A = this chain, B = another copy of it.
Amino acid sequence: MTYQPPIEEIEFTLRHVVGLDRDMAEGRAGDLSDDLLTAILAEAGRFASDEIAPLAAGGDKEGARFSDGRVTMPKGWTALYKAWREAGWNGLAAPAEHGGQNLPVSLSVAIAELWNGASMAFGIGPTLTMGAVEALEAHGSDHLKTLYLPKLVSGEWMGTMNLTEPQAGSDLSTLRTRAERQGDGTYRIFGQKIYITYGEHDLTDNIVHLVLARLPDAPEGVKGISLFLVPKFLPDEAGNPGPRNDAFCHAIEHKLGIHASPTCTMIFGDGRGESGEAGAVGWLVGEENKGLACMFTMMNSARLMVGIQGLGVAEAAYGKALAYARERRQGRANLLAKDRAEPASREMVPIIEHPDVARMLLRMKALVTSARAIAYCCGHAIDRERHAQTEEEARFWRERANLLTPLAKSFPTDVGVDVASLGVQIHGGMGYVEETGAARLLRDARIAPIYEGTNGIQAIDLVTRKLPQSGSQSVRAYLAELREVAERASERNEAGFGALAERLHEALGDLTETTDQLLQWLNEGRMGDALAVATPYQRLFALTAGNVYLAKAALADEAGSARLALAVFMADSLLTETSGLKREILQGGENLSAAREALQ
């Protein structure tokens, strides 16, 4: 089966859970209209299912290939990328002045779900370009903006982010790549970077590397990091790619998944460029030694986009498993529970009829749908900040985006792995055979909880940086909003809503109590307690928020009871985790410390 884009579900979520309907009505969505929204989603869905999805399996099997400094993309991928960018999909949320379409971020992440659902290995590439656009827009000189932004917004050139070095993964303070000032305002870059996604390929005429490096007189640690733009080919003033820069791919990784996405080791400045002397020519982005601030600009949206990768794969895995479970016949209803010796006189039933299979599918659907809501709402907070009328409003939404970012990165990526794994399980033996495609989704999904800040780092960020924002007012305002949805469910005088509201209130109580405890520990400087339980807290937070969003969808749905049933199912079989999580969280770090001696 090819990928079935969940267009109706996406549109419903955008309009009624995220609130794009209200944004459109109140003039916060630019030129977006009802019809345009529907048309864009339909066309993106068509492109994803008809153009991208058919190349996903081949891209995985063939993979990106490396030879002599060059990376060759799988068969058909260069034409695919060209068709994709020529259709205008690259600059969806980019500013109009550089050729973008200035559409809401929430819409652009929804559409990115489609690319990643069709092929995560394809969907990743443009994410990096988008990061480069954001960094240049916020921090680049006019010269750099004029020369690079139009090409990057159109997708004619792609961007990369060069952070990681062998000794500097999650901790950037030990970066060694160095930059030397030249007389002409440019810099020369020397060093090695690893795990550079789309660091080299043949999709575009040029590649624009953003590289973190250290100046000779820079302070130690992260206060001494600067950001440089290093193009693969040095363009002339008209933007025509010229001499080959001294920035080469040294090798690509043989990975568990996303085989068509080249993960490169990049070497800067070993003297192979055409510019005469050693050193990759680079231009400073922002100020010297302020590189980390530039990176932070990109970080929220980069993390959100990784969340979208997990979401896209999860949705694809769910759709695939659902189709299989409807088609595959095995056993009569309840056969396995009855007398096995009974003759198989009746017809076999589709496996979706078996309660355990239905349970797995519902779990997948609840996880995917709640993850989608969290991720889109994070994108929406970025939109709201952009359209803020006052600094106070801007701050409110900036902090909301900050708060939701670790949840929007970690929850959908954990869900991606869990749901893809359930998808394999539903396929049975077929799921373990690569030909079926279910296993590829699991292999692809597994990177997302790791890169762009591991999910453990997201949890630390959530607890130690986001909870204390504005003296905890940001998180409290969010919790109040969630409670308001639960209140509305309580007041809705219909079967199902009452019990659902009760469960939501209970989970919100668990979330509030643990939030208070964590804030208290932070105030008391009991960092060890906070860090020890950050991950279970992050899950408690996401499960609760996600289930509230399912309830919000049910409240908005006039068409029937399916959304209510899903919200109730989640409350009864996933939100049941919150009491145990609360218990674990409130213990803090004591038992963790005590148990360390068991690690042998």
A residues touching B (Cβ–Cβ < 8 Å)?
A: 164, 169-171, 173-174, 194-195, 219-223, 253-257, 292, 322, 330-331, 334-338, 340-345, 348, 352, 354-362, 365, 417, 421, 424-425, 428-429, 431-435, 439, 442-443, 446-447, 449-451, 454-457, 459-461, 464, 527-528, 530-532, 534-536, 560-563, 565-566, 568-569, 572-573, 576-581, 583-584, 587, 589, 591-592, 594-600
Contact = CB atoms under 8 A, between A and B. Distances in A.
Nearest to A460: B336
A434 B578 contact: no
Contacts of A219: 343
Contacts of A443: 256, 443
Contact of A584 (B343, B433, B576): B576
B433 A450 contact: no
Contact of A254 (B253, B255, B434): B434
Contacts of A421: 417, 421, 446
Interface core residue of A164, A356, A535 (most chain B CB under 10 Å): A356
A429 B535 contact: no
Number of copies: 2
Contacts of A584: 572-573, 576
A467 to B, nearest CB: 12
Contacts of A425: 449-450, 454-456
B459 A356 contact: yes
Contacts of A432: 253, 255-257, 446-447, 450
A584 B253 CA distance: 43
Contacts of A599: 322, 352, 358, 361-362, 365
Contacts of A431: 450
A359 B439 contact: no
> What are the nearest 10 A-B pairs in CB distance?
A576-B580, A173-B344, A569-B595, A356-B456, A221-B343, A566-B598, A256-B439, A171-B331, A355-B531, A221-B344
B568 A292 contact: no
A344 B220 contact: yes
A563 B563 CA distance: 46
Contact of A595 (B362, B424, B428): B362
Given A577-B577, A577-B580, 12 more contacts: A169-B428, A220-B344, A292-B340, A355-B534, A356-B531, A357-B456, A359-B532, A425-B456, A429-B451, A432-B450, A443-B443, A569-B594
Contacts of A459: 356
19 contacts: A171-B331, A171-B335, A174-B344, A195-B429, A219-B343, A221-B344, A222-B340, A255-B434, A336-B461, A354-B456, A356-B534, A358-B599, A365-B599, A425-B449, A429-B450, A432-B447, A562-B600, A566-B595, A576-B583
